[in-house]
Structure 1
Amino acid sequence: MTDTLNLVVITGMSGAGKTVAMQSFEDLGYFCVDNMPPTLLPKFWELVKESGKVTKIALVIDLRSRAFYDEIIEMLASLDNTQFVTTKILFLDASDEELVSRYKETRRSHPLAMEGRLMDGIQKERRLLTEMRNRAQMVVDTSTLSPRQLREKIFHVFKTTVNPSFHIEVMSFGFKYGLPIDADIVMDVRFLPNPYYVPEFKELNGLDQPVRDYVMAQPATEQFYGQFNGLLKNIMPGYLKEGKTSVTIAIGCTGGQHRSVALAQRLADDLSMDYPVDVTHRDMKKRKATVNRS
């Protein structure tokens, strides 16, 4: 393995947000491991080095297993002396009052106070985690943070490229075959003139240049497309701020073969200048024996 492995150890107080943090790192493209048994760690590192395919790992640890915690401390000390791994520790903390409130709300038991007082478990955990907290490169107090705000903070610090986890799915479809259930935004373009009724276009689709030119040449098309494209470019930053990792935009006509295909393809080409975009034409190749008005 030639590339350096970037390892982030996510640890901290139970109830401080490690689950949210792990989900955030998954969206950033990290391979996430939650409390792997210590006996498997040596084999895991060997597999990572041999594969050469994993370059970012987030390892979540807590005190559910004291033996595991001791193993991690030893492992981190050994990794500090290697050039194979670059290690960062993210420690999540919260006030005692906030941790108590969260445990009361979820009605869960603290891992160190399964049969005792909640505060005793929290205080014991603080003492045991002192060394790890002191070693951490980043300590985040989540007492006043919402899950979205914690996610934003992690993205701000650990993302390595512009919007690495955010992408857009653009889809064309035909209303006669049903709405796509996974769409975030649906636009109906059946108000545009239908190429299906032009004899030479009937057996073509919206990817064919004559059909595309016909659809785009309509005055209503240009006015609509300019407004729709402008709206999407204005709202995409809002989706990013809210922590969404993807947005699916579905454009539909009657049969999903002409108008929606042409417009979806143009939209995908335009949005790809700012975001990673995938485009699919769900119903483009479907032909019903009945009257087909695309």
Structure 2
Amino acid sequence: MTDEMPSETGEVLIVTGMSGAGRSTVADALEDMGWYVVDNLPPQMLRPLLEVSGLAGSALPRVAAVVDVRGRDMFTQLPDVTRTLRDARPQLRVVFLDASDDVLVRRYEAVRRPHPLQEDGTILDGIRRERERSRAIREAADVIIDTSGFNIHQLATKVVEMFSAEGSAQHTLTIMSFGFKYGLPPDADVVADMRFLPNPYWQDDLRGLTGKDEAVRDFVLAQQGAVEFLDAYENAMIPVIAGYQRENKRHSVIAIGCTGGKHRSVVMTEELADRLGRLPGVAVRVKHRDLGRE
């Protein structure tokens, strides 16, 4: 490594704070949003990490490091290390997670684990020692999040609101066509059956085509109930997806099936993807599971 840290405009977060305040939840939420997350990093390793991220450029545009008292005596060096790093990476931010003593005690009692600084004392003794060690970095933090009143879903939602890239999707929706004769997709959250529509397979001029061909698309959408289904299904899924976003369910799969997964399900998958892809905060991916099968 060189003495000069590469200048980089990518975001950098140092996530720290009280044990039991939700660091793991925050790290998971950041990772789900595409951040490169490193957990339990000693403060002395922050500079090498940022040097690597700077050299990686766009390959690591957003980096988060979780630093906490598991680093033992090294943790006390975090404020000094952070001050030094800010000169080279002004976009660096420190996020400190906190919660009231009684909430932290309840959380530790619920998981039946000792506090990392408890030693021979009580959980509260460990919390007090940690507060003393964390005072300097808490005072230097850019963001302090009090998680006392949050459950894990609410905390994850808070992280999404605060650290999502502008315009980034809050929910990724995969819409997948499939053939029932090959089995249900095991990862489907919602399944819809297109076998109520006439099958283009029985049309000699359409049998060798697929739902990606215009002739098949026109045939399927002209059938009674096809457009009505699309209208109703779109309206039904809007509150479901909104609920997924509120509950911080970041990914879901809608599976659209027909007999062989070649005609009707493909057409309806493409149509639904076009409609639901217009929803705010939703990124839609299309997958045709069985399209290439004989």
Normalising by the residue count of structure 1, what TM-score does the alignment of the two structures yield? 0.92
Partner of 1:239: 244
| C-alpha separation in 2, matches of 1:278 and 1:8 | 29
SS in 2 for 1:164: coil
Alignment partners' CA distance in 2, 1:235 and 1:42: 43
Cα deviation, residue 22, structure 1 = 0.7
Alignment of 1:31-180 (within 5 A): 31-38=36-43, 40-52=45-57, 53-82=59-88, 84-180=89-185
Q: Distance in 2 between matches of 1:155 and 1:38?
A: 25
Per-residue CA deviations over 1:254-275 (Å, capped at 9, x if unaligned) read: 1111100111011112222333
What's the counterpart of residue 228 of structure 2?
Answer: 223
Match of 1:290 in 2: none
**Structure 1: segments with no counterpart, 5+ residues:** 288-294
Tell me which amino acid in the other structure corresponds to 1:51.
A
User: 1:28 touches 1:155 (CA, 8 Å); kept in 2?
Assistant: yes
Aligned residues: 286
Quick check: 129-138 or 180-189, which moved more? Answer: 129-138
Task: Give the letter aligned to residue 122 of structure 2.
Answer: R
In structure 2, give the amino acid aligned to 1:64. Answer: R
1:6 touches 1:85 (CA, 8 Å); kept in 2? no
What do residues 63-111 of structure 1 show as CA deviations (whole Å, max 9, x unaligned)? 11233313322221112222x3412221111111111111111011111
Q: 1:221-276 deviations in whole A, cap 9, x for unaligned?
A: 11111111121223221111110111111000111111001110111122223332
Secondary structure at 1:144's aligned position in 2? coil
Name the counterpart of 2:3.
none
Seen in structure 2, the aligned counterparts of structure 1 residues 163 and 235 have a Cα distance that, compared at 3 Å, is farther
Tell me the CA shift for residue 2 of structure 1.
Answer: 6.0
C-alpha offsets along residues 109-152 of structure 1, whole Å, 9 cap, x if unaligned?
Answer: 11101433221111111111111111112212212211111112
Residues in 1 aligned to 2:100 and 2:107: alpha-carbon distance in whole angstroms: 11
The answer to whether the Cα contact below 8 Å between 1:204 and 1:211 also exists between their aligned partners in 2 is: yes
Percent identity over the alignment is 39
Partner in structure 2 of residue 8 of structure 1: 13
Change (3 A) 1:271 1:200: same
Q: CA deviation at 1:193?
A: 0.8
What SS class does the counterpart of residue 64 from structure 1 fall into?
Answer: helix
Taking only aligned residues, the RMSD between alpha carbons, in angstroms, comes to 1.7
Q: State whether residues 8 and 54 of structure 2, in contact with CA within 8 Å, keep that contact through their aligned partners in structure 1.
A: no
- List gaps (5 residues or longer) in structure 2: 1-5
Q: Provide the C-alpha distance between the structure 2 equivalents of 1:88 and 1:42, rounded to a whole number of angstroms.
A: 14
Write the distance in 2 (CA, Å) between the matches of 1:128 and 1:235: 45
| Length-normalised TM-score, structure 2 | 0.92
